[in-house]
């Protein structure tokens, strides 16, 4: 096969890139390791920042989202048995759209594959990238049904294959800096069949560990519980989960609604950034280039931001021979990436402060929280980052 852009990975980054390329008359082929059914049901993120939704809307990709998504403009901290609401929409003029990631993926696959007859190949194996520094790179993969090897020849490769993908590994170590940070903390991520117990997000700060509540749909709620990194989800029985959630999120008059736990996984809180995000004809986008622990709900938003920039840069190059945006692609993405990394780090220190072994750190976290809750200027600065208004 010959195409202009080979897109590896059909997550939010890859699918958005592919849709926007096709809209602008650039040919592409998407290669995805999983099946269509699998990616349309994989639950992950749920919070989209308003600027990202407006951009999807401008491109005709937000039809169902705008009909179905809930809107959030406030969250609350809970600690010492009290609630403290932060009304970030009032402070910034912007809000979040709550739309499960798998719904966005479903819409983007439909718009690309069904709506515009885009070429997408599911279940591919052994994806490899070739000749990245030459003029005619290519991608090979094995077809799962026939066992046959295929080659996609292209002009550019969009490496959108997530945190565990292969694209990033094709960049020689001496050609990029891999900057990373490990919090040494785990979060037990839970999906529960229960309606939300509060209007917005709840961040619980407690000496037993952080806990959070995030609405997803009227029937499904996500919860997080701080736990040791690498903890075994089997250590968390139904009884233990609910006991800890009730304790860590406890305030009078605001009970937590229990339900069946349909997903339990332990996430080790760590971040990384690959810099630059480009190597020869390969350009990374989304989690393949940068991971931000789900502390401030940033990952999916960054994946979309990269996709908007990459599709515009590739179009300028391939349709108009203008390479300036592609040359600046990595730096343009990384400005927002590093702001979000810094925000997540700051916020993580506040959320986990109550369990910090070092009393100095614990008191610093308290001081930050007090300032955030008492100074409108501090609250506005925080909220601008929280909603991604840069
Ligand atoms: P994705 O979504 O991981 O998509 C990558 C795709 O590439 C495929 N793939 C391959 N395809 C071909 N060949 C290979 N060798 C391949 N290897 C992998 C994969 O199957 C997949 O389909 O990356 P993308 O597009 O960069 O999108 C990033 C987001 O998915 C991620 O940042 C968010 O889910 C992070 N995240 C959250 N982000 C938010 O903005 N708000 C949130 O509230 C939020 N909550 C979360 C999250 C991530 C979580 N987990 C488990 C990772 C909650 C959780 C629990």
Q: How many CB atoms lie within 10 A of CB 131?
A: 12
Residue 379 tokens read as 């609250």
Can the peptide bond before residue 276 be classed as cis, meaning omega within 30 degrees of 0? yes
State pLDDT tens for residues 329-354: 999 999 999 999 999 999 999 999 99
Q: Tell me the residue range of the domain where 293 lies.
A: 5-50+101-179+271-343
Buried b (16+ CB within 10 A) or exposed e, 237-267: eeeebbebbeebbebeeeebeebebeebebe
| Domain contains 338 | yes
| Domain contains 216 | no
Q: 19, 287, 386: which to mutate for ligand 1, most atoms within 8 A of CB? A: 287
State pLDDT tens for residues 126-143: 999 999 999 999 999 999
pLDDT-derived band at 64, boundaries 50, 70, 90: very high
| Helices and strands (DSSP H and E) totals, the chain | 12, 20
How many residues would you count in the chain? 390
| Domain contains 333 | yes
Would the CB of 286 count as within 6 Å of ligand 1? yes
Classify 142 as helix, strand or coil.
strand
| Domain contains 63 | no
State pLDDT tens for residues 141-177: 999 899 999 999 999 999 999 999 999 999 999 999 9
pLDDT-derived band at 215, boundaries 50, 70, 90: confident
Q: How many domains in the chain?
A: 1
- Is the per-residue pLDDT at 184 higher than 90? yes
| Domain contains 210 | no
Q: What is the pLDDT of residue 199?
A: 86
CATH code of the domain covering residue 43? 3.50.50.60
pLDDT-derived band at 43, boundaries 50, 70, 90: confident
Q: What is the pLDDT of residue 116?
A: 87
- Is the per-residue pLDDT at 63 higher than 90? yes
- Is the per-residue pLDDT at 216 higher than 90? no
CB 30 within 8 A of CB 10: yes
| Domain contains 297 | yes
| Domain contains 24 | yes
| Domain contains 253 | no
Ligand 1 center–CA 362 separation, angstroms: 32
Q: 165, 167, 268: which to mutate for ligand 1, most atoms within 8 A of CB? A: 165
- Is the per-residue pLDDT at 115 higher than 90? no
Would the CB of 29 count as within 6 Å of ligand 1? no
């Amino acid at each position: 096969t010959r195409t202009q852009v080979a897109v590896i990975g059909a997550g939010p980054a890859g699918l958005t890139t592919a849709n926007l390329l096709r809209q602008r008359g650039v040919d592409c082929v998407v290669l995805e390791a999983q099946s269509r059914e699998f990616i349309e049901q994989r639950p992950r993120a749920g919070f989209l920042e308003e600027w990202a939704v407006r951009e999807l809307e401008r491109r005709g990709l937000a039809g169902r989202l705008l009909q179905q998504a809930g809107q959030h403009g406030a969250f609350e901290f809970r600690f010492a048995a009290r609630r403290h609401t932060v009304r970030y929409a009032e402070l910034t003029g912007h809000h979040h759209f709550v739309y499960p990631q798998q719904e966005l993926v479903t819409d983007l696959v439909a718009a690309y594959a069904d709506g515009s007859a885009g070429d997408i190949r599911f279940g591919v194996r052994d994806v490899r990238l070739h000749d990245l520094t030459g003029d005619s790179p290519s991608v090979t993969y094995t077809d799962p049904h026939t066992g046959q090897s295929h080659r996609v020849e292209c002009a550019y490769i969009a490496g959108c294959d997530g945190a565990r993908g292969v694209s990033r590994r094709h960049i020689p170590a001496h050609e990029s800096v891999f900057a990373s940070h490990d919090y040494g903390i785990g979060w037990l991520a839970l999906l529960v069949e229960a309606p939300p117990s509060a209007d917005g997000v709840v961040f619980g700060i407690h000496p037993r560990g952080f806990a959070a509540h995030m609405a997803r749909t009227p029937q499904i709620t996500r919860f997080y519980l701080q736990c040791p990194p690498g903890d075994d989800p089997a250590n968390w029985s139904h009884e233990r989960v609910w006991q800890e959630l009730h304790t860590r999120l406890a305030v009078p008059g605001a009970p937590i609604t229990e339900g069946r736990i349909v997903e339990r996984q332990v996430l080790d809180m760590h971040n990384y950034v690959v810099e630059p995000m480009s190597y020869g004809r390969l350009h990374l986008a989304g989690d393949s280039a940068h991971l931000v622990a789900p502390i401030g709900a940033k990952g999916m938003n960054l994946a979309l931001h990269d996709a908007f920039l990459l599709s515009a840069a590739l179009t300028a190059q391939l349709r108009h021979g203008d390479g300036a945006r592609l040359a600046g692609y990595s730096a343009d993405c990384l400005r927002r990436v590093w702001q979000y990394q810094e925000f997540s780090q700051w916020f993580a220190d506040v959320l986990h402060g109550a369990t910090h072994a070092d009393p100095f750190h614990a008191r610093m976290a308290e001081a930050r929280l007090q300032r955030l809750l008492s100074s409108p200027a501090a609250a506005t600065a925080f909220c601008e980052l929280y909603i991604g208004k840069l």
